[in-house]
Amino acid sequence: MKLIKNLIKRKPIKRYEVCSLISHIDFLDKQLEEKQNDGWEIAGDILIKNETGWCRNTNFHIPMKRRIK
């Protein structure tokens, strides 16, 4: 039984911390650059939300993750 357990190699579990970056279109570049400098990376699809149809009322919802050591 010990021989079988030694043959099975377990992969280490990758752990991530997740957050959502919700930003207005005017401040997106600065906030995204700050997050990426802190070690965050984009983790999925980006949602663009515009409730009223006016071009200056656009918000981005970006899921982000970074690896926990």
Residue 45 lies in a domain: yes
User: Mind spelling out the 3-state secondary structure of 7-59?
Assistant: HCCCCCCCCEEEEEEEEECCCHHHHHHHHHHCCCEECCCCEEEECCCCCCCEE
> What's the domain count of the chain?
1
| pTM, rounded to two decimals | 0.73
Q: Is residue 22 part of a domain?
A: yes
Containing domain of residue 31, as a range? 12-67
Residue 4, domain member (yes or no): no
> Mean pLDDT by 10-residue block, N- to C-terminus, for the chain (69 residues)?
67 91 93 95 94 87 94
Interval 54-69: pLDDT, tens: 888 899 999 999 999 8
Q: How many whole angstroms separate alpha carbon 36 and alpha carbon 8?
A: 37
